[in-house]
Structure 1
Amino acid sequence: MKLASLILFILGSFVASLAQNQGEEISQDSLRELRLSRNKSRAKERYESYLSTKDKSQVKFLDLSYLDLEELPDIVYEFRNIRSLDISNNHIKKLPKEINQLQNLKSIVWKDNLNGKHRIKLKKNNTITRINLEGNDLKKIPRKLRRLKSLQAIDLGNNKFLKIPNTRRLKELIDLELSGNPINLYKSNFKRITQLDKLKLNKCELDSIPTELASLTQLKLLQLAGNNLTGIPKELEKLNKLEYLTLYDNKLTELPDVVYELGSLKQLDLYYNEIEKVSPEIENLTNLEILYISNNRLYSLPEEIGKLSNLKELYVHHNRLSYLPESIKNLDSLKILRMNSNYFSSLPKEVYYLTSLKNLDFSENQIDAISEEITKLTNLELLYFYGNPINLENEPFLLVFFEQLRAQGSVVIYSE
C-alpha cells in the first residue's frame, strides 16, 4: 500500500473509532471529504503509472478521474487503442478535435464535471457510441451532443431533468438512462423517444405511469425501480418486445395484470414490494428465465409456475412461504433456487427433482430434517442451509454428501 493511501486509511479508521467511542455519528460531509481525498490520492498514483507505461498500445481503458483537470492532457493521445475514457470528477467542459485520433474510442464517462452548464464543446465524431453525463446538474441535453453521430447510449442519471428530454436529433440513440431525476412523465413527449429499446427511470419519484409510455413499442428493457408505483397501466401490454422489466422497490400489493400479457419477458424483478399473491396467469410468461420476487409477502406460489420451462433462476427468499407447489419439480432448467428466510419446516420434496440446480439456498428457515434424496443434487456448486435446527448427528449421509460436493470444488455452508 502506498504511503498516502496508508495515511488516509489510518486517518479514516481513527475518525471512525473516535466517533464510535464518543457515541457520535460522523457527518456525511466528513465522510464525503475523506472519500474524496482518498480518491484523489489514488488518482495521482494511477496517473503516474500511466506516465511510466512503456507499451501504451496495450491500454484499453484510461481512468483520469479525480485529477482536477480543466482540459484533457496531451498524454491521452498517446494511448491510441483505448476503448473507454473516464474523466469523471474534473472540470472539463470541452473535448478537443484531437479526440478523433483515438479511433477505437467507444465510451466516455464525463460525470460530475459540468455543474449545470449545458454548453459544452464537442467536435464531430463517428466512433463514440456511449457517453455518461451523470451528476452534472443538467436540465437539458447539451446541443453539441448531436455531433456524436454514432451515439447509441447516454446516461443522464442524477441530474435535474423535469421531463424526458428531446433526443430526436440523436439519430442512433437506443439506450436512455434518466434515473435519479425528478421527472414528470405526464409533461413528457414520448414521441421524441420512440426509437429507444432501453429506458431507465429508477428513483424518479414516480407515483404512476402514463398510458403514453405504451407508444415506446421498441422497448426491450424498462426499469422503474425505487419509485412509488402501486400499479402500471394495461396499455403497456403493447410493449410486446419487452424482455427485461424492473419494478424493484415500489408499493405493489399484487402483480399488475398487464405483466402477464408481456409474453416476451425474460427477466422480471419484483424485489421489495408488498405482493401477497401471484396469479395462475404467470403461465403466460413462457420465455421467462429469471424471476425475482423476494422480500414480499407471499404465502404461496401458484401451481402454474411449473409451466415456466425456460426458468433458470428463481428468487423467493424473505417471504412467508411454508411449501412449494408440486409443479416446481417440472422446472428442469432451474439452476438457482433461493428460498431462504421463509417458514419452511422441511425441505420440500419437489426440490429433490431439480437435478440441474447449481445454487440452492434454504438457510434461515425452520427445517429440522432433510431426506436422503438430496444426494441426487450432484450438480450443486453452492449450498447454504445455516440457521436451521438440523442435527447432523441424526443425518450422517449429509456429512458424506457435503464431503463429496467439496471434493468437486463446491461450497457448502451450514451451522455445525
Structure 2
Amino acid sequence: MKKKLVQSVKEHFVQWFDNEPEFVFLSPGRINIIGEHVDYNDGYVLPAAINKYIGFAISKNETSACTIFAQDLNQSHKFDLNDTLKPIDKMWMNYILGVLQQLKEKGFAMQGFNMVFSSTIPMGAGLSSSAALECGIGFAMNNMFDLALTKIEIALIGQKSEHTFAGVNCGIMDQFASVFGKKNHVIKLDCNTLEYEYHQADFKKYSLLLLDSNVKHTHLTSGYNTRREEVEQGLATIQQHFPEVKTFRNCTENMVLELKEKLGETIFKRCHFVVKEIQRVQDAVDALEQSDFKTLGQLMSATHRGLSKEYEVSCDELDFLVDAVQHENSVLGARMMGGGFGGCSINLVEKGTEEELINRISKQYQNQFGIELKAYKVKISKGTTVYKN
C-alpha cells in the first residue's frame, strides 16, 4: 500500500513536471485508542499514527513560483512565495498555504517548489487527513530548506494553519500524533503542557478495525461548542464546593456524585463522563503495559457507553455499529472515535476474523440504514518521515 502510493505520486510528478522528484515524504493519519472529548478538559489522550498516508513527491525549482497538484482531486494551484499568502476557495490548498505563510512570517528562507500529493487516508472518516497534509508540508519544508524546526514546532504550525486558514478551532492531538507517531506505540499526551510518553502497543493476535459509518451529521460543530460550555459551567460549580479542584484531572467521581442535584441532570452527565474518561485513559495505559487486551477492550466499550448516554455525542448509526459487535467472541471492545455524530467506530478484534465480521456487519448496516459500510484495517505506524527507497 505504501509502496503503491509512493510509486503513484512519483509517476504523476514525472507526468506533470517532466522530471523525477528530489524527495518523497509520507505523513500519516491517526487514531485515538481512548480519551475522547477530554483534550479540552485537562485529561490525557492516547493517539497513534496509522499506516494510511499522504504521499508527497516534491522538488525545488530555483524560482519563487510554486505549483501544487492534488492528484486525487485532479486539481492544481500555482502561487508565488514572495506574495502574502491568503486563504482561497480551494479548501485543500488552505491547509498548505497556512503552513507556508507562518514559515514566511517567522522569517524562514524558502524557494519555489513543485509538488504532487495523493492520499490513502479516507476522507471524512475522522482519521485527520487535514493534520497529515499540514504536518507533511511543514516537515517537507523543514527538511528541504534546513529550517531546524523541532517536531513540536511542526505540529503547532500545522494546528495554527487549521485555525487561521481553514477556520477549524482544533486541538493539538491530530498534528501531534501525525508528527510524533512511533511504530507499535501509542502516545499518552497532555494536550495542555504537550508532555508525552510512549507506551508499547503491540496487539499481538489482535488487530484494530475501523468501521466507517459513512455519515456526518451537521450538529458536530454546534454540539461540540455546547459540550464545551456545559463542562465549563459544571467545573465552575464543582470548584465552588471543592476549592481544591483546579481541573477535572483532580476532581473525583465522588465529588461529582455528591453534587448531582446541584449540577442538574445534563451537566451532571457531562461532568461524570469526563471524570470517568480521564481515569479510563490511565487504566488503558496500565492494560497496554501488561498486554491485557481484554481489559483494554472493556474500557473502550465503557467509553462508548459514556459518549453515547452521558456526553451524548454519538448517533444511531454509530450506536448500531458498536452494539452489533458487542456479543461477537472475536471482538474485545468497540467505541465511536472522534468528535462524534458520525465517522468511525474503532474495534479491537481477533486477527483473521476481520473479513467475516465486516461482511456480516455490512449486511446488517445496509438493511438497517440503507448505507454502505466501509471498513479499514489499520496498524500503528511511525510519524511523518522522508521515504527512502
TM-score scaled by length of structure 1? 0.26
> Relative contact order: is structure 1 or structure 2 higher (C-alpha 8 Å, sep ≥ 6)?
2
More helix by share: 2
More strand by share: 2
TM-score scaled by length of structure 2? 0.28
